[in-house]
Amino acid sequence: MGTVDKAKNKVQEAKGKAKEAAGKATGDKGLKNKGKSDQAKGNLKQAGEKVKDALT
């Protein structure tokens, strides 16, 4: 199951990058910040997966 979770986290990071880029391009600070937030959530989840992998 870990591989699926890792893939989902990467997708979330990618969506965050796209939102951030769209926010920058349109001048939408809310969208830009939401993108950064999504990226941070994805990174945090990835870190959790790495910890789980290290413990098993």
Dist CA 40 CA 48 (whole Å):
12
Is pLDDT at 1 greater than 80 in this prediction?
no
**Residue 24 confidence (pLDDT):** 97
What is the domain count for the chain? 1
Q: Where is pLDDT greater, at 3 or 20?
A: 20
- 8 alpha carbon, distance to own chain's centre: 9
- For the stretch 11-48, pLDDT in tens is 999 999 999 999 999 999 999 999 999 999 999 999 99
34 contact partners, CB below 8 Å, separation of at least 6: 16, 19, 23
Q: What predicted TM-score, i.e. pTM, was given to this entire model?
A: 0.83
Domain that holds residue 18: 2-55
